[in-house]
Each structure stands twice: as C-alpha cells, then as structure tokens.
C-alpha cells in the first residue's frame, strides 16, 4: 500500500550530487541499498560513483529516474524543484535547512499543480528500512518493523526511533516531513497510506509547537476511520512565545499552535499523546505487545 | 523574527503607510538628557509579543518631567518572559474610529490571507472579534493579492473602504518585497477627515530570507542587543535562547526538536533550564570555538549548577566531537560538573580519547540516565 507513496526500488537521481554533502550522502544511500541511478550537477566530478547530468531532464531520459533527492543549498531548492518538475519526476525530497518561506510557497504551488509529491522544504528525508533511504535518516534508528513514522524534528525522531528499535519496534516507512512552516507533504497526507497498509500496525507522530499540522492530522485520523493505535510526542511545551526555537515552524503566536490545542485535538481523535520520550516508548511497547 | 513595533513602523513608513511620530529609547540611553519630544505622548514597551497594555507596558507620559519615572517602570518589566530592553515614545493620535487590517500566510494551504474588520484595537483572537473579521484567500503573488483586496473592501462599511484599500495597496508590495510572513495593523486609526494612521504594527519576517534581505540583515546587525537570538543566528549560524536567567541546568545540545523536548522534560521534573540550544555539530568543522562560546554563556548563569550535553551521533562522528569538547572545557575553565550523553557513530573511539584524558566528564549512553544524573548533581549542589 505504501508503494503509492514510494516504492523500495524506485530509480532515484541526486540533485547536487557533487557537493560535499551530496557526495557523501550519495555514498551513504547507495551503501544502504537505495537504487541511485544518476546525479545532477553543474560541475563535473571524475570521482562520482553515478553517471552525472546537467539537468534532471537529461538524467531522466538517460536513466529512467522517477524520483529525486536534492542536496543543494537553501536558496537553490526552488530552482531544483522546478528542474525536477520539468523532468516529470513523481517525487522529490529536499533536505536543505533554511529555505525561504516565499520560495517554499512557490514550490508548494508548482508541485501541487504538477502532481509531484514534495517532501520538504527541510527534512532528513524518508526511508523504507532495510531497503532504501532518500536523505540521511540515521541507519542506527532504522529497522524493518510494524510502525509508520512521521516526524517534524530530525533529532527527536532519531532518538525516539533508536529507542523503539532497541525495544524491537522498527518501521514500515518513516517520513520526515520537516519543521518548516510551509512544506510539501504534511502529516495528514500520510494518514490514508498508513491506515490502509496491512503491515503498519501502529503510527508514531513526532510533532512540535507551531502551525496547525497536528490539528489537521487529528481531523484526517477521524476522517480515515483509522483503527490503528496512534502515538504522538509533541515538543516545545516550554518554548518562548515570539522567538524561533531552531525550527522556523516552531514559532508560537498567541493561541495558535500551542501544545494544548494539539494535544486536545489528537486525543479527541483517539491518539495517545505522551509528554516524555520514555512514556511514548512504553505506550508503543505496551500496546503492540498486547496485540501480538 | 517578530520585529519590534518601532522597527516595523519604520518599514511601514518607508512603504508609504502613515504612522505616528515616534522615537526609540533603550535602557542605556535612559541616563541621558530627556529627548526633544512633544508631550503628552505614549510610552510603549518594545517586546515581540502581544498583551503589552495589560502587562503595564503602555503608559501615557504627561510632561517631560514625568518621562524618567515612566521609562523606569516600563524598562524594568518582563512581559511574557521577554525583558523590556527598549521603549517607543509616540505622539498621540486624534481619531474617530478603529479598524483592523492584516496580511498573513496560511502555512497550511499555502495561500495568502487578507483580513479586515471595521473594528480594531481589541484582542483579534476573541470569538466576538473573529466573527466580525472579513477575510479572503489569494494565490500568494501581488497580482492575485490586489484582486482579493478589491473583493474584500466591498464587504466593508463605506467609510472604511477608502482607508483599507489604501493601506492594503501599500502593504501588499511591502509584504512581497520584504518576504514578510505577517503584517498586522491593529488598530488602524480612522480620522474624522477620512485619513488614517497605523496605531500598532506587527511585522513578522522570515529569518531564512535574510541572505537576500540586506535591510533586514542590517537592522539585526545594528541592534544585536534588541534581537539577541536573531543576531546570534546570523553571525554564528546556530540557535541559543536564554530561557530563564535563574535556571539551574545549562544545556549544550544539538537538534531543535530533541533540544526542545529536553527542555520540556527538565521543566516537567521541577528544574529550570537556563537555555535552549541547537548547536549544530555539523557546523563545527573541527573548530571548538562554537562550543567554547556556548559553554561560556551557559556557565555564566548565576544559578547554573549542572551542565547536560547531549549528542546523538546519527550522522556525525563522536571521535571527532569529543576532542573538541575537551579543548572547549579547558578553555572555559568550567566550575559546573558536566554530564555527557553520547551514543552513535564513533562511540568506542570517543571513550578511548576520554580515558586517555583522564575521564574528566561523566558519560552516559542512555538519555534518561543522563538527565537523572544532571538533575541529581544540580539538586545536591543546591542542598550543599
């Protein structure tokens, strides 16, 4: 079922393949078993491990790539998205931190119009554990298992999944949607996938203050009549109003995007909302153990 | 970043939006001569949050002689955890009615929302006020925004149409040129002759756009004391927020989400984190200076009794990180004990490096145990 979002063997090109991080992350993804078929860059790189092209379109006609992961600087994300659309790709993951919101808005509008799924603006990526990853979700936190994971924060989700894996609970699919205010794929978009996927026995959400994505997710859970157990951890209870706490999306304004509104909405939708990482791990373990 | 009202009004004025005359006074300038300003006037605390009036941050100044005592009161306040570092003196405005106008992004749908109401000055979040708000959504570009503004104006009482159309048509270009996320005028004062002037102004800008917004960058660089978090991020590329000057736990952590969660869990357990920090180990590139800086700030907290470091090395290498920590600790001459939680890539090599240095740091691999230990150290030292 999750194939509708991303297939394990989808042929992938890397935009920004010759940069410092593009080069090392490409090696990391290939080592993990990801089907990387091409790189796109304005520069040549005699040491490149994959064939290089100037544009996505050239890469697609030569290799049949269907998806892209872009390791380009934040101000180059919008041009990279436009290039990917031009090539007719079906999915793009962008990882750069610090994409301007006005660029993200434009990217959102054009990807929606083109029917291309966009995971970004800034995310550690996604992974089908044991099979592939697009981006750099750490391998120590990845293992095949029964959980559908979606996360705003990279680091907090690494910690949560690392400890869940230690307890024997890996993932069917993990999508980092990122901590930006304006983004492509949102929590709610993933609910129908996880709800319908027979291998996914539970859903883990790593959210945080700001915006209304968790509230929207709660509505989607109700609308999809998802019967699977849903576990959420929400960071930023003690954040300072009016100040950005690391993530652009995590800026609270009075009465909008607070922990209270998010917790209430998710609980109404039947989710278990934990205040600590430990409580979340215990809730997942307790529930899935009793079911198996 | 939410601009202070004074700076927001400077941007508005430059865009042709009328604002009352005003000057900015910081705590440092308080000792100097009284500014040449027309009295009576208003004195308004400059903090990036609402609720200033209720908190006693907006007062009338009747004469020049009253100014020092009023400023003294306002500059001593902390409003919703924000210490008042500056104050705007502003001319009084004669007006007949109040209105509301804002431009904001709806992050969820990716559209621009234009909101207006024939009332203003009150809490826009209140249900009564919400019911009176007119709003339209537009594709986020100037052309669509202007068309939407025209639609919106038609729903307003006749006396309000002219002013809202004028304000809107000046703010739309400003919104796109400065890459704003929110511009809000509440109240917009409507004068008896049909003229108008912005009573208050909120301008939320996008930190990510700073590389291509030189005026906004200059504002932050010229006022590092008024925008300490943004100035730090701009100059050094990482986040550090002082949360509680009386805090007992100093944090040296990486990752916004995990760092926020740690702050939450420490608060839940009855302790007070001094700071939030996302130090971004990826930006170290072999240089300990960022760690030195953060350790200096953290250890300078008068009540900080324990320092917790947390590094989950999913993509970094602990064997490269630990030597930097050792150098930084030596340079700062820490008085507080450190608990280091680390796990992930290069752990064994990192432990070997620590052993060679005589194990100067207490290491835990489990985050729960590390937090337990850091809090216990703080509690013991408070009892001693």
Domain spanning A7-119: CATH superfamily: NAD(P)-binding Rossmann-like Domain (3.40.50.720)
Model pLDDT, residue A244: 64
Instruction: For the domain made up of A137-291, give the CATH fold.
Output: Rossmann fold (3.40.50)
Q: Is the fold of A7-119 the same as that of A137-291?
A: yes
Model pLDDT, residue B45: 97
Confidence of residue B109 (pLDDT cuts 50, 70, 90): confident
Model pLDDT, residue A249: 59
CA B293 to each of CA B236, B256, B297, B332, B340: distance values in angstroms, whole numbers, following the listed order = 10, 18, 6, 9, 17
| ipTM tops 0.90 | yes
Query: Tens digit of pLDDT for each residue in A41-91?
Result: 999 998 888 999 999 999 999 999 999 999 999 999 999 999 999 999 999
Model pLDDT, residue B122: 64
- The mean pLDDT of chain A is 93
Model pTM score: 0.90
Mean pLDDT in residue range A185-211: 96
CB B40 within 8 A of CB B63: yes
Q: Is the pLDDT of residue A251 over 90?
A: no
Q: Which of A247, A258, A259, A262 is catalytic?
A: A247
Query: Tens digit of pLDDT for each residue in A140-162?
Result: 999 999 999 999 999 999 999 99
Q: Is the pLDDT of residue A287 over 70?
A: yes
Model pLDDT, residue A247: 61
Residues 152-211 of A with CB under 8 A from B: 152-159, 162, 179, 181-182, 186, 206, 208-209, 211
Confidence of residue B323 (pLDDT cuts 50, 70, 90): very high
Confidence of residue A124 (pLDDT cuts 50, 70, 90): very high
Shortest distance between the Cα of B36 and any Cα of chain A, in A, equals 32
Query: Tens digit of pLDDT for each residue in B164-214?
Result: 999 999 999 999 999 999 999 999 999 999 899 999 999 999 999 999 999
Instruction: Give the best residue of A125, A243, A273 to mutate against chain B (max B CB count within 10 A).
Output: A243
CB contact under 8 A, A233 and B181: no
- Whether the CB of B343 is below 8 Å from some CB of chain A: the reply is yes
Chain Cα centroid distance, residue B38: 31
Task: Indicate the domain borders of chain A.
Answer: 7-119, 137-291
Q: Which domains does chain B have, with CATH numbers?
A: 21-91 (3.30.1490.20), 97-205 (3.30.470.20), 237-383 (3.40.50.261)
Q: In what order do the strands lie in the sheet with A272-274?
A: A132-135, A125-128, A171-176, A144-151, A202-208, A230-235, A272-274
Picking from A117, A15, A31, A106, the residue whose alpha carbon sits closest to that of residue A69 is A15
Model pLDDT, residue A245: 64
Set of chain B residues whose Cβ sits within 8 Å of the Cβ of A152: 257
Confidence of residue A210 (pLDDT cuts 50, 70, 90): confident
């Amino acid at each position: 079922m999750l194939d509708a979002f991303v297939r394990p063997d989808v042929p992938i090109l890397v935009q920004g393949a010759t940069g410092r991080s593009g080069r090392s992350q490409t090696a990391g993804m290939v080592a993990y078993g990801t089907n990387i078929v091409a790189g796109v860059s304005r520069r040549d790189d005699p040491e490149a491990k994959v064939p290089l092209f100037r544009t996505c379109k050239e890469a697609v006609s030569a290799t049949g790539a269907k998806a892209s992961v872009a390791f380009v600087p934040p101000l180059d994300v919008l041009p990279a998205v436009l290039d990917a659309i031009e090539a007719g790709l079906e999915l793009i993951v962008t990882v750069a931190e610090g994409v301007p919101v006005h660029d993200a808005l434009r990217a959102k509008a054009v990807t929606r119009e083109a029917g291309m799924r966009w995971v970004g603006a800034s995310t550690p990526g996604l992974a089908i554990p044991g099979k592939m990853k697009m981006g750099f979700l750490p391998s120590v936190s990845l293992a095949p298992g029964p959980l559908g994971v979606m996360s705003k924060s990279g680091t907090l989700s690494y910690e949560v999944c690392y400890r869940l894996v230690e307890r024997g609970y890996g993932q069917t699919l993990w999508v980092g949607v990122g901590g930006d205010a304006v983004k492509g794929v949102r929590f709610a978009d993933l609910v129908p996938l996880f709800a319908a996927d027979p291998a996914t026995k539970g859903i883990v959400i790593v959210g945080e203050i700001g915006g209304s994505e968790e509230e929207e997710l709660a509505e989607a859970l109700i609308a999809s009549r998802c019967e699977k157990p849903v576990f959420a951890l929400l960071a930023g209870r003690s954040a300072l109003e009016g100040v950005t706490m690391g993530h652009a999306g995590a800026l609270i304004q009075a009465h909008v995007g607070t922990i209270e509104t998010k917790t209430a909405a998710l609980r109404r939708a039947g989710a278990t909302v934990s205040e600590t990482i430990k409580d979340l791990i215990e809730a997942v373990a307790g529930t899935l153990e009793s079911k198996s | 970043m939410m601009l202070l009202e004074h700076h927001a009004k400077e941007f508005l004025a430059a865009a042709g939006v009328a604002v009352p005359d005003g000057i900015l006074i910081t705590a440092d300038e308080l000792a100097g001569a009284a500014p040449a300003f027309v009295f009576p006037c208003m004195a308004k605390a400059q903090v990036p949050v609402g609720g200033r009036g209720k908190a006693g941050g907006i007062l009338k100044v009747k004469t020049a002689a009253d100014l020092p005592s009023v400023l003294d009161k306002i500059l001593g306040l902390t409003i919703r955890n924000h210490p008042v570092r500056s104050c705007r003196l502003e001319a009084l405005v004669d007006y007949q009615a109040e209105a509301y106008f804002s431009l904001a992004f709806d992050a969820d749908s990716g559209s621009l929302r234009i909101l207006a109401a024939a009332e203003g000055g009150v809490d826009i979040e209140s249900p009564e006020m919400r019911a009176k708000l007119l709003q339209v959504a537009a594709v986020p570009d100037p052309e669509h925004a202007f068309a939407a503004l025209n639609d919106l104006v038609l729903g307003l009482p006749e006396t309000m149409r002219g002013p809202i159309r004028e304000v809107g048509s000046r703010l739309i270009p400003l919104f796109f040129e400065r890459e704003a996320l929110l511009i809000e005028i509440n109240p917009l004062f409507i004068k008896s002759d049909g003229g108008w002037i912005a009573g208050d102004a909120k301008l939320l800008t996008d930190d990510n756009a700073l590389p291509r917004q030189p005026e906004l960058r200059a504002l932050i660089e010229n006022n590092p004391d008024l925008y300490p978090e943004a100035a730090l991020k701009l100059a050094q590329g990482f986040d550090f927020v002082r949360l509680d000057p009386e805090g007992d736990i100093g944090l040296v952590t990486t990752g916004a989400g995990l760092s926020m969660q740690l702050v939450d869990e420490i608060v839940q357990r009855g302790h007070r984190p001094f700071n939030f920090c996302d130090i971004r180990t990826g930006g170290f590139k072999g240089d300990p200076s960022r760690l030195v800086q953060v350790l200096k700030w953290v250890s300078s907290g008068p009540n900080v009794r324990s320092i917790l470091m947390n590094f989950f090395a999913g993509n970094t290498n602990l064997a490269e990180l630990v030597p930097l920590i050792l150098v930084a600790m030596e340079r700062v001459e820490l008085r507080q004990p450190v608990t280091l939680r680390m796990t992930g890539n290069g752990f064994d090599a990192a432990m070997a490096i620590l052993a060679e240095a005589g194990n100067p740091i207490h290491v835990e691999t489990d985050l729960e145990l590390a937090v337990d230990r850091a809090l216990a150290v703080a509690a013991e030292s408070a009892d001693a």
